[in-house]
Structure 1
């Protein structure tokens, strides 16, 4: 599973959870995002390892550009999305009901197109 497919599935589950008002699914997704961000045990990486896809057959990566932080952008993305969903869904859903919907559509769109503005911003800020 690629990160793009992961974003497509995550965005779909967020929208399903919001549309059908499945609070437990939303809480599970927020918890999963925090767990993956805190431990860096990401579902796409674990599934790739399980399928046996290793980097041994690939060509070596070119030199990585210097970054300000030694923190992975995907990991930071998961923490940011989890935090924003927790604040807006669990804390202020009565007044900010549109924000989780916007995030669900944006993450779904990032899965379809492969372009995530938040991930681009996190990389621009200095994460690798």
Structure 2
């Protein structure tokens, strides 16, 4: 069984909450770095886990809703943009603006909940804007 983006969001949300609870700055740097790396290169952890498990190099990724892909206005994947948005907001809320200390906590709970429920409001908004 391959890792899905939903499972990845669950693990990412849980990891964020653990890092925030124990105040592990270097691990937060690593999480933000991984999110930006995935967003820029589109080499996402769920895809890489699938490649390692199947030992087959897949060139295209299967989307959950193919109707959204066909009607997309922009040629950027929504998961890719989601990772850049999350990394940016974590950077702002955790490192740059001290008054927004609650924002990474909110994001951790929201991402964890999105992974459990399968419904991510940010991802839905990105898809609604026209990204595939």
Q: TM exceeds 0.5?
A: yes
| Mapped partners of 2:66, 2:95: distance in 1 | 42
If the length of structure 2 is used for normalisation, what is the TM-score? 0.87
CA shift, 1:76, in A, is: 0.3
**Equivalent residue for 2:46, pick from 33, 44, 47:** 44
Specify the alignment match of 1:102 in structure 2: 106
Greater Rg by CA? 1
Cα distance change of structure 1 residues 112 and 74 upon mapping to structure 2, 3 Å threshold: same
| Mapped partners of 2:75, 2:121: distance in 1 | 20
| Mapped partners of 2:91, 2:66: distance in 1 | 37
Cα distance change of structure 1 residues 20 and 62 upon mapping to structure 2, 3 Å threshold: closer
Aligned residues: 122
If the length of structure 1 is used for normalisation, what is the TM-score? 0.90
Backbone CA RMSD of aligned residues: 1.7
| Mapped partners of 2:4, 2:84: distance in 1 | 18
CA shift, 1:3, in A, is: 0.5
